[in-house]
Structure 1
Amino acid sequence: MDQFKNIGLVGRLNSSSVVVSLKLIIPFLQERGLNVIVDRAIGELVSEYGLQESALRLMGESCDMVIVVGGDGTLLGAARELAPYKVPVLGVNRGNLGFLTDITPDQVCEKITEVLEGRYTIENRFLIDAFVRRKGLPVGEGSALNEVILHPGKTARLIRFDLYIEGEYVYNQRSDGLIVATPTGSTAYSLSGGGPIMHPRLDAIVLVPMFPHTLSSRPIVVDGNVELKIVVDERNETFPNVSCDGQTNIVCAPGDVITIRKKPQKLRLIHPLSYNFYETCRSKLGWGAKLGE
């Protein structure tokens, strides 16, 4: 328990179930003599405990572990802020699927106890950075744990763009866009678009065309260390968008260049020893169990 003295708490807003879990976790940690620091965004929800509040980014500097209570979206937002600080993150699921927040509410005290006692594993999950430049000048940038998506925005029109991998020309495509996903994101939007499921330990990126205007366009899996470049065709009449984890949005223009590459810092994701990726796929995606189960 000595390695986790300062515990950060992050929760999804506008969720009564999240508040219930927070009010279970806080006294549980305090009874063990641990210092609990709560994300400023949810401070009012648990104000009766008189906890120290902090901006999420600063938690990375002051906390030994951060517990995220909510869905995968909540953890995605926390991951982008906390990854540069290498602070380990533990997810408690109060959302829907819960691929990243794998502790269930009924097991929260049991599993946190296991972690505090050193019975856990840590997975390093890489993120990707996206940079948009217009005539050589920066327009915007963002990071993603799941995926970076080029999409039409509010208009339902095809986008024309060129794709380069490590400076080598791949193709010119007309489609609704392109999903660039990490292994973590391979079970998210990429999966809905027909992409493959990748084990989280793979060092790879998958590129999934969105409704391409040709039957020969298929997902491509590439090395995780490549640099991708997407050039928005000058002939486009619309202004496509670049979205990072569905939470950061950059509006592009015809001729813009989008560069995507692996982020230097990784998210340190804590799992209880009982965590099993394939069991998670079975339960979340409805895969068949063994006969007789």
Structure 2
Amino acid sequence: MTAFKTIGLIGRLASTSTQYSISRLVSFLSKQQVEILLDDETSSVLPDGGYEIASRNELALRCDLIIVVGGDGSLLSAARAFAGHNVHILGINRGRLGFLTDISPEEIEYKVGEVLDGKYLKEERFLLDCRLLRDDTELSSGLALNDVVIHPGKFIRMIEFELYIDDEFVYRQRSDGLIISSPTGSTAYALSGGGPIMHPNLDAMALVPLYPHTLSSRPIVVRGSSIVRLIVSEDNNLNPLVTCDGQSQTMSQPGDEVIITKSEKSLSLIHPEGHNFYETCRSKLGWASHTGNP
């Protein structure tokens, strides 16, 4: 008896190594007592497999487990599609760093087999809601598992904005932009920008300036329930971009407001037994290993 009955597969098909891992995973799962569904794109890897093809909306409604084969970017895309649904997400790493996709390709059969046997850890990760307003009218909205970033786009020019937290004025800043990061995203772009590493279970957000004009502008950590509001200064002579997880973006204009809050939607992320956040940091970030008793 497996812990999951209907499993959806999603993969990043640009990589031949990903295609190999998907084929290997399907071969393993076909021997288990599970139903296998492939999303539209992933099915092209197995054109003659005879497996059912389903849209991501169908996968969200029918599957109790989604396995993502690829890098963290692939899982970020899946997170936004499946957040708020009663489905678990498991990642197999075919990317580079792999903070979210933590099963190595060599361990597919063993680790996925353990998960199917019910030997796994579950985490609920919250997402960020982002809304862009112009004259109190909502122009666009987006979801982000990692971060929302306000930046100048391809131009290397500073932007100016005002920051408010829970309607309290914080500062007026000139910089290359601002990263608003969830705990999940604290080991991604925010880390490169000098932000703090936050444990995934924290109910908090980090605000990390990108190359601020004043050296006294430092990252700020606020509670997860905070309402973060940025007003794009009228003095800007360019249109800053608002990006969610580096995958979807909207162009703003001077006078616009960007509001970021904790989303009501969450993501159920699972790991094989023995997963440890600090061990992941040690292996991915090159921290020194333990050499003796504390």
| CA RMSD between the two structures | 1.0
Aligned to 1:269: 269
Deviation at 1:28? 1.0
What are the superposed Cα offsets for residues 38-82 of structure 1, whole Å, 9 maximum, x if unpaired?
111121111121111111232110101000000000000000000
**In structure 2, distance between residues paired with 1:212 and 1:15:** 37
Indicate if the aligned counterparts of 1:11 and 1:18 stay in contact, CA closer than 8 A: yes
SS at match of 1:74: helix
Aligned to 1:8: 8
Aligned to 2:124: 124
Indicate if the aligned counterparts of 1:148 and 1:242 stay in contact, CA closer than 8 A: yes
Aligned to 2:96: 96
Aligned to 1:20: 20
Indicate if the aligned counterparts of 2:2 and 2:118 stay in contact, CA closer than 8 A: no
Q: Which amino acid aligns with 1:93?
A: N
Aligned to 2:40: 40
What are the superposed Cα offsets for residues 220-277 of structure 1, whole Å, 9 maximum, x if unpaired?
0000111111000011100000000000000000000001001101110011112111
Q: Percent identity?
A: 51
Aligned to 2:81: 81
Aligned to 2:65: 65
Indicate if the aligned counterparts of 2:64 and 2:86 stay in contact, CA closer than 8 A: no
Aligned to 1:189: 189
Task: Give the TM-score taking structure 2 as reference length.
Answer: 0.97
Q: Which amino acid aligns with 2:6?
A: N
SS at match of 1:267: strand
**In structure 2, distance between residues paired with 1:225 and 1:55:** 33
**In structure 1, distance between residues paired with 2:225 and 2:213:** 29
Aligned to 1:285: 285
What are the superposed Cα offsets for residues 94-151 of structure 1, whole Å, 9 maximum, x if unpaired?
0000000000011111011111111111000110010001112222111110000000
SS at match of 1:141: strand
**In structure 1, distance between residues paired with 2:25 and 2:101:** 15
**In structure 1, distance between residues paired with 2:248 and 2:37:** 26
Q: Which amino acid aligns with 1:283?
A: S
SS at match of 2:74: helix
Q: Which runs of 4+ in 1 moved over 2 A?
A: none
**In structure 2, distance between residues paired with 1:290 and 1:29:** 37
> Pairwise mapping of residues 153-232 of structure 1 onto structure 2 (< 5 A)?
153-232=153-232
Deviation at 1:2? 4.2
Indicate if the aligned counterparts of 1:3 and 1:64 stay in contact, CA closer than 8 A: no
**In structure 1, distance between residues paired with 2:254 and 2:270:** 42
Aligned to 2:247: 247
**Gapped runs of 5+ residues in structure 2?**
none
Aligned to 1:138: 138
**In structure 2, distance between residues paired with 1:62 and 1:80:** 17
Indicate if the aligned counterparts of 1:86 and 1:265 stay in contact, CA closer than 8 A: no
Task: Give the TM-score taking structure 1 as reference length.
Answer: 0.98
Q: Which amino acid aligns with 2:117?
A: E
**In structure 2, distance between residues paired with 1:261 and 1:189:** 19
SS at match of 1:278: helix
